[in-house]
């Protein structure tokens, strides 16, 4: 398969690289320490067009390829995974869902604000007792005239305390199983919607993760995304793209680990020479490079399939599985190469180590990715 990048894709990769180095890298460690949301970085991303990469031009977006989005996310996550996940959820899960499943009315009302960065998007699928088993969600949406009244809670919502609009899933038929779930576009300013606990996290500390409570929130029926009862299908379709986004995040972290490890190994001397000259260190660096190259090809393949409109569920799961495991391995080895210094906050590898861990958990755990892949194989 030809993975030669187009001029547009090269341009967006370079734009994202400059944005990451110039706007995100300064202060990234301090924002992580303070658990400070990257408000200015997200504002700047909007100005640069990085908030609407997949949004059609008629709604103010760049209308670029999924591969272009992956390239941008790799560069940004290489520097600050908290900014990276904020942009990934916004582009892939929120904008992607509305663009793929929304009516012309929904698209015209929401995509221009999201693409410009005026509004930030979130994705509300999980609940306290409905994570990997998303089909067991209990949040209710009851029809009342021309509205739905939504009651319940959502958990683990990225940017939950900063998002202006959510793609939210609720049960419209309690007896229909997965076919009783419907997707909605919900504005967070709606009466009855409130932000709950902000989770104290191991990593991605500059990205906020919160509970969302809905107490009789009225949502117009015209804000149904897709069709009533089609929500589970919307969620699975959207998560295919989201998993490519998290794979891209993991690859960016891997690249950061290799870059930091090579720099340290050349500078750190033991037994009279740089540790880069010792074979055990060289083996670690070589293995990092191999995992990065393999992970990149898997992301490119899954992105290309999505861009062509072909089924890519297994390929997206494979890309996420390989890259998320690779990120955790590379981060662990980066800390090992740095020795005691890597365990301290003076070097960024301890942050990479913490940030990498979540990539094997959210948007489908490692175990779920294996299940998706195995089921695809067994279907033939």
Q: Are the C-beta atoms of residues 261 and 338 closer than 8 Å to each other?
A: yes
How far is residue 46's CA from residue 354's CA, in Å, rounded to a whole number? Answer: 27
Strands 121-124 and 165-171: parallel
Q: Which two tokens stand for residue 168?
A: 């939210």
Q: Which residue among 40, 227, 363, 367 is the active-site one?
A: 363
Q: Which two tokens stand for residue 357?
A: 């861990």
How many Cβ atoms from other residues are within 10 Å of residue 57's Cβ?
11
Residues, the chain, total?
380
Cα separations in angstroms, 278 against 39, 261, 285, 335: 43, 13, 11, 17
Q: Are the C-beta atoms of residues 162 and 120 closer than 8 Å to each other?
A: yes
| Residue 191: active-site member | no
How many Cβ atoms from other residues are within 10 Å of residue 35's Cβ?
15
How far is residue 281's CA from residue 328's CA, in Å, rounded to a whole number? Answer: 17
Residue listed under structure tokens 């693409």 = 115
Closest CA to 70 of 21, 24, 111, 13: 13
Helices 279-307 and 231-267: angle between axes, nearest 10 degrees: 150
Active site residues: 363
């Amino acid at each position: 398969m030809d993975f030669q990048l187009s001029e547009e894709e090269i341009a967006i990769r370079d734009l994202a690289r400059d944005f990451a180095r110039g706007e995100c890298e300064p202060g990234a460690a301090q924002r992580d320490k303070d658990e400070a949301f990257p408000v200015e970085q997200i504002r700047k991303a909007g100005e640069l067009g990085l908030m609407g990469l997949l949004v059609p031009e008629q709604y103010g977006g760049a209308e670029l390829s999924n591969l272009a989005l992956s390239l941008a996310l790799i560069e940004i996550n290489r520097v600050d995974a908290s900014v990276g996940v904020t942009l990934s959820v916004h582009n892939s899960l929120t904008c992607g869902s509305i663009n793929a499943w929304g009516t012309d009315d929904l698209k015209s009302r929401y995509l221009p604000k999201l693409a410009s960065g005026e509004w930030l998007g979130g994705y509300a699928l999980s609940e306290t007792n409905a994570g990997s088993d998303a089909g067991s969600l209990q949040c209710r949406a009851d029809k009342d005239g021309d509205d739905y009244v939504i009651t319940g809670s959502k958990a683990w919502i990225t940017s939950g305390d900063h998002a202006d609009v959510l793609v939210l899933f609720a049960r419209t038929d309690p007896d229909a199983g997965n076919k009783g779930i419907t997707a909605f576009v919900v504005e967070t300013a709606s009466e009855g919607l409130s932000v709950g606990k902000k989770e104290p996290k191991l990593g991605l500390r500059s990205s906020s993760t919160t509970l969302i409570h809905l107490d009789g929130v009225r949502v117009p029926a015209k804000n149904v995304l897709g069709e009533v009862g089609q929500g589970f299908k919307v969620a699975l379709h959207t998560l295919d793209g989201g998993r490519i986004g998290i794979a891209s995040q993991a690859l960016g972290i891997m690249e950061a680990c290799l870059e930091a490890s090579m720099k340290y190994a050349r500078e750190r001397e033991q037994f009279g020479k740089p540790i880069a000259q010792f074979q055990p260190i060289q083996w670690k660096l070589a293995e990092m490079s191999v995992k990065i190259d393999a992970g990149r090809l898997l992301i490119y393949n899954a992105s290309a399939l999505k861009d062509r409109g072909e089924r890519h569920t297994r390929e997206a799961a494979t890309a996420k599985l390989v890259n998320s495991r690779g990120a955790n391995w590379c981060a662990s080895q980066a800390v090992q190469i740095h020795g005691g210094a890597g365990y301290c906050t003076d070097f960024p590898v301890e942050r990479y180590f913490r940030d990498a861990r979540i990539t094997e958990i959210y948007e489908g755990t490692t175990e779920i990715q294996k299940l998706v892949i195995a089921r695809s194989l067994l279907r033939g």
